[in-house]
């Protein structure tokens, strides 16, 4: 009689299952960045000053291509490895929430806004009337970590957690998580672009506060793209996630409805900003009426003025996410335990 033998799957099988669990766009970015680094390694290309984000070159020669080439190129094997290792949980989580096409559009917006913030701050510091500092104009920033810092801010806002662990050593408040990482990487690693990471954080907060709402189309726009014949081959792939899929958390409230006025947008922005300021905790009394049971409902062992939480009174997760007047919150458990490596930074003579 044969004994029951329990065998575990081998490493190739586990790697295959792990790779198949990564959504379409996230896996595509990993392939593109990895392939570009390997191609540069094989041909011996290391002229990063030609493709990195160099503010002086963007201003003097109008080399706008650097906005995107600086994102997909990396300076070392560890650089691309840790960036892609951090991208997998972050990108997978956001892609499942937003959809593949929409996340691609958001990444392009984040990369562009990172470059604009970078350029503005470098010019401001280099030409300030008190003490001009030309060094930042000649910094060569390269790598995907600027976008990753933006995604960290977005994912932290969506998760709704109160604290985050830094390398498993200590916990910090979630709203300070990205800032703590910025300081930690700057202290522990060299050749790290402080300005590149800082601009990524600023872009992430700009997105979560709704500052990009005027340039973000509605879900119907992404649905039209997904139904086009050009993407028919990609749409048939099981790893591609549609923006209009059946996932209840498939939307992030960043699109402003046509009836929303700029004044209401600024009011929402002020409420988001004020939520980060410590204040006295208050509760909101919400009463629900039912025609079958008239009168005020009461809870056993509770006082008359005890109020339920505003979050629990929402009808569903989808209703919270579809309402642009609420702060971005959802009960998504973050798997972003790996933190991106810093951008490559070099000095030009």
CATH of the domain at 89: 1.20.1540.10
Residue appearing with tokens 């081998």: 10
58 domain-assigned:
yes
Backbone angles phi, psi at 163, to 5 degrees: -145, 160
Number of domains in the chain: 1
Q: How far apart are the first and last CA of the chain?
A: 77
191 domain-assigned:
yes
What's the pLDDT score for residue 285?
36
Catalytic-residue membership of 228: no
348 domain-assigned:
no
What is the C-alpha separation between 319 and 251, in angstroms, rounded?
10
- Give CA separation, 179 vs 60, 163, 255, in Å: 32, 13, 26
DSSP bridge partners of 345: 141
Long-range CB contacts (within 8 A, 24+) of 223-231: 225/101, 226/99, 226/101, 231/101
Measured at the alpha carbon of residue 142, what is the angle toward residues 136 and 144, in degrees to the nearest 5? 125
Give SS3 for 226.
helix
What's the pLDDT score for residue 25?
94
Q: What is the pLDDT of residues 105-157, one digit of tens each?
A: 999 999 999 999 999 999 999 888 888 888 889 989 999 999 999 999 999 98
What is the C-alpha separation between 260 and 276, in angstroms, rounded?
24
Regions of the chain with pLDDT less than 70: 1-9, 232-233, 235-237, 244-349
300 domain-assigned:
no
Catalytic residue among 74, 79, 105, 197: 197
**Got the DSSP string for 128-160?**
-SSS--GGGGGEEEESSHHHHHHHHHHHHHHH-
257 domain-assigned:
no
Residue range(s) defining the domain that contains residue 159: 18-218
DSSP code at position 173:
E
Asked whether the CA dihedral 192, 198, 204, 208 is positive or negative, the reply is positive
Backbone angles phi, psi at 330, to 5 degrees: -160, 160
pTM (2 d.p.): 0.68
Catalytic-residue membership of 105: no
1 domain-assigned:
no
131 domain-assigned:
yes
282 domain-assigned:
no
Catalytic residue among 27, 92, 145, 193: 145
Q: What is the pLDDT of residues 306-316, one digit of tens each?
A: 444 444 444 44
What's the pLDDT score for residue 5?
52
What is the C-alpha separation between 249 and 214, in angstroms, rounded?
22
């Amino acid at each position: 009689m044969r004994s029951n033998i329990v065998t575990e799957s081998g490493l190739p099988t586990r790697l295959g299952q792990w790779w198949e669990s990564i959504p379409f766009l996230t896996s595509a970015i990993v392939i593109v960045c990895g392939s570009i680094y390997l191609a540069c390694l094989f041909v011996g290309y290391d002229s990063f000053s030609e493709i990195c984000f160099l503010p002086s070159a963007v201003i003097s020669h109008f080399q706008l291509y650097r906005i995107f080439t600086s994102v997909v190129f990396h300076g070392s094997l560890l650089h691309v490895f840790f960036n892609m290792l951090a991208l997998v949980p972050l990108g997978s989580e956001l892609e499942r929430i937003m959809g593949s096409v929409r996340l691609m559009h958001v990444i392009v917006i984040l990369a562009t806004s990172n470059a604009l913030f970078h350029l503005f701050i470098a010019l401001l510091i280099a030409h300030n009337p008190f003490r001009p500092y030309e060094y930042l104009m000649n910094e060569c920033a390269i790598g995907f970590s600027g976008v990753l810092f933006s995604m960290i801010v977005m994912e932290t806002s969506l998760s709704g957690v109160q604290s985050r662990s830094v390398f498993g050593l200590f916990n910090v408040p979630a709203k300070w998580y990205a800032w703590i990482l910025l300081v930690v990487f700057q202290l522990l690693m060299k050749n790290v672009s402080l300005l590149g990471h800082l601009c990524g954080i600023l872009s992430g907060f700009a997105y979560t506060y709704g500052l990009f709402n005027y340039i973000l189309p509605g879900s119907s726009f992404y649905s039209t793209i997904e139904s086009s014949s050009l993407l028919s081959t990609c749409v048939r792939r099981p790893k591609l996630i549609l923006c209009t899929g059946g996932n209840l958390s498939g939307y992030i409230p960043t699109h402003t409805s046509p009836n929303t006025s700029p004044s209401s947008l600024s009011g929402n922005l002020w409420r988001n900003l004020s939520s980060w300021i410590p204040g006295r905790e208050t509760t909101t009394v919400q009463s629900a009426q039912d025609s079958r049971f008239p009168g005020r409902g009461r809870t056993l062992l509770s006082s008359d003025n005890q109020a339920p939480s505003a979050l629990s009174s929402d009808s569903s997760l989808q209703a919270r996410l579809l309402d642009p007047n609420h702060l971005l919150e959802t009960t998504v458990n973050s798997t972003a335990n790996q933190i991106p490596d810093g951008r490559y930074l070099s000095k030009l003579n």
